[in-house]
Structure 1
């Protein structure tokens, strides 16, 4: 099973998201579900960019390693830049397994 490394986002909003993308080569994301609290996260762009080219990634469960804890998730949606090969935001859904 594939494992992605993430960090908790301390600041949210448009300006902090732009700073993440431009300076740190990271992008924002969120993990949400019905029974667990939502987590605002930051993911390294280079770790995910090649995964999005594979269409089966949307069907598989992924592990997100966050502060030495693992969360089992599925990709709900990916927002991409219109003409650059860049990811702007990603949504994960807690997996029931």
Structure 2
């Protein structure tokens, strides 16, 4: 069992794209995606403060992370993280199923 558990909401197809992602970031949320394995990719939204707190620990980049999306729990590892060039806050995260 991992030490990191993140809560997420699934995003609808109509709530994806550059404009929708900007609106999420202004609302202190981070767009992300979970992909890999046999299941289809899932677009999700994470709380900014929850993700920043997890990123403070270096083990977050090495261990398996649990992401709760509604009733399902995904075991993932972080694949890529995009940060704002000046503020260094997360802008987008990619997670790969473990």
Fold match (TM-score > 0.5)? yes
1:61 matched residue in structure 2: 64
Structure-2 separation of matches of 1:26 and 1:38: 19
2:9 matched to 1:14?
Answer: no
Answer with 36-45 or 52-61: which moved more. Answer: 52-61
1:37 matched residue in structure 2: 40
Moved beyond 4 Å, runs of 4+: none
Structure-2 separation of matches of 1:87 and 1:25: 10
Deviation at 1:50, TM superposition (A): 2.3
Gaps of 5+ in 1: none
Answer with 51-60 or 4-13: which moved more. Answer: 51-60
Structure-2 separation of matches of 1:82 and 1:8: 27
- Figure out how many residues of one structure are paired with residues of the other and give that number: 94
Structure-2 separation of matches of 1:83 and 1:50: 19
